[in-house]
């Protein structure tokens, strides 16, 4: 599996947004050009050590040239681990795809939602939005993309074909992916490495929007101000966020104007804690929450469970209610959350 990367494009680039827009490293255009050329030539560069693996450069590169995937390839080839070895080993062993823990809960053939490694959401994805839905979850279906955070793309390339086979053998024409990381694996990552995906990946946003649109006569506008916390893997596939804004419009919520939103979003901080970069962990959480408070948000909306687990308590202490996107949508349909 070889990464699709156009060296000529980088040589002709004039802005080098992939590095100059980075919120964790400070590079001007001239410095960015020098470092990206070093990356392309497989040479030593401080980028490999200082990259926080936030995925943002994938979004900043409007030509889809996959600078972040290149960085992770070089980190592994040079033995540069963004996190301590014991943590990397623990994560690699945690998600070995086996048949033992395969979990498949068919109420009907389709639609089917992949819940990744988040079985706790089985009891939440209920009500009008999820009537007749099937679920797949467990390591047998786990996308493996998290290993980009640990400089181990070889693990993904080794396991992903089997994961695709495990899903495809059920004959699904479409699979809705609850987590951005999974959706991005079967779209952005698979495309970058020329991996064939024999089913149509559907993002959770698209699914929710279509269901809400069909139930529009039952939607009661919530009339609240919300701050949306973008997760890191949404950077790989930002185009699907059109559905997010449509959802907010349908359910009658106002997405507040924030400094750290959309392209300028900051991570939840979870990856920094995993990498034992505690100064960054504290800093991005502080800035995120202060930004939400300043925008007068009543709710902080998450789509990534890991972001929720990392940031929810701090958000709550600041007087803002943390909530997952599907929960917010259920409230708009008059449903009670447990």
Half-sphere exposure of 282 (CA within 13 A, CB side): 4
Q: Is the pLDDT of residue 107 over 70?
A: no
In the numeric block, the tokens 């800035």 are attached to 287
For 7-50, the pLDDT digits (tens) are 888 888 999 999 999 999 999 999 999 999 999 999 999 999 99
Neighbours of 24 (CB within 10 A): 17
Cβ–Cβ < 8 Å for 304, 180? yes
Sorted by where each starts, the structural domains of the chain and their CATH numbers stand as 7-77 (no CATH), 88-207 (3.40.50), 216-332 (3.40.50.1860)
Whole-number Å distance between alpha carbons of 162 and 150 = 21
Query: At a CB cut-off of 8 Å and minimum separation 6, what does 207 contact?
Result: 111, 113, 176
Q: Is the pLDDT of residue 101 over 70?
A: no
Nearest to 56 by CA among 235, 315, 244, 256: 235
**246-280 core/surface letters (b: 16 or more CB in 10 A; e: else):** bbbebbebbbbebebbeeebbbbbbbbbbbebeeb
Cβ–Cβ < 8 Å for 121, 163? no
Interior CA angle at 51 toward 25 and 235, to 5°? 90
Residue 31: its pLDDT value, please? 96
Residue 76: its pLDDT value, please? 96
Which sign, positive or negative, has the C-alpha torsion 25, 57, 186, 288?
positive
**What confidence tier does 318 reach under pLDDT thresholds 50, 70, 90?**
very high
For 125-161, the pLDDT digits (tens) are 999 999 999 999 999 899 999 999 999 999 999 999 9
């Amino acid at each position: 599996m070889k990464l699709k990367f156009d060296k000529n494009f980088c040589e002709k680039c004039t802005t080098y947004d992939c590095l100059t827009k980075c919120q964790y490293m400070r590079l001007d255009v001239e410095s960015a050009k020098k470092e990206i050329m070093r990356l392309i030539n497989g040479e030593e560069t401080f980028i490999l050590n200082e990259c926080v693996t936030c995925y943002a450069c994938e979004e900043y590169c409007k030509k889809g040239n996959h600078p972040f995937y290149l960085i992770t390839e070089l980190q592994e080839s040079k033995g540069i681990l963004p996190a301590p070895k014991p943590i990397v080993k623990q994560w690699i062993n945690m998600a070995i795809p086996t048949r033992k823990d395969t979990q498949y809960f068919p109420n009907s053939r389709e639609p089917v939602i992949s819940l990744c490694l988040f079985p706790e959401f089985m009891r939440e994805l209920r009500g009008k939005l999820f009537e007749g839905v099937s679920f797949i979850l467990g390591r047998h279906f786990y996308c493996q993309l998290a290993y980009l955070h640990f400089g181990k793309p070889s693990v993904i390339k080794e396991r992903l074909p089997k994961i695709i086979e495990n899903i495809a053998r059920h004959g699904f024409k479409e699979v809705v992916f609850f987590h951005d990381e999974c959706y991005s694996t079967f779209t952005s990552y698979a495309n970058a490495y020329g991996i064939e995906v024999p089913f149509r990946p559907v993002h959770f946003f698209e699914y929710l929007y279509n269901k809400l649109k069909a139930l529009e006569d039952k939607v009661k506008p919530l009339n609240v101000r919300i701050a949306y916390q973008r997760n890191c893997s949404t950077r790989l596939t930002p185009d699907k966020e059109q559905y997010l804004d449509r959802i907010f419009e349908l359910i009658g919520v106002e997405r507040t104007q924030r400094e750290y939103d959309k392209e300028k979003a900051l991570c939840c901080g979870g990856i920094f804690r995993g990498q034992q970069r505690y100064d960054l962990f504290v800093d991005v959480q502080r800035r995120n929450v202060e930004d939400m408070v300043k925008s007068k948000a009543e709710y902080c909306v998450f789509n990534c469970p890991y972001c929720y687990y990392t940031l929810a308590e701090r958000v709550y202490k600041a007087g803002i209610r943390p909530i997952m996107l599907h929960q917010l949508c259920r409230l708009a349909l008059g449903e009670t959350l447990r």
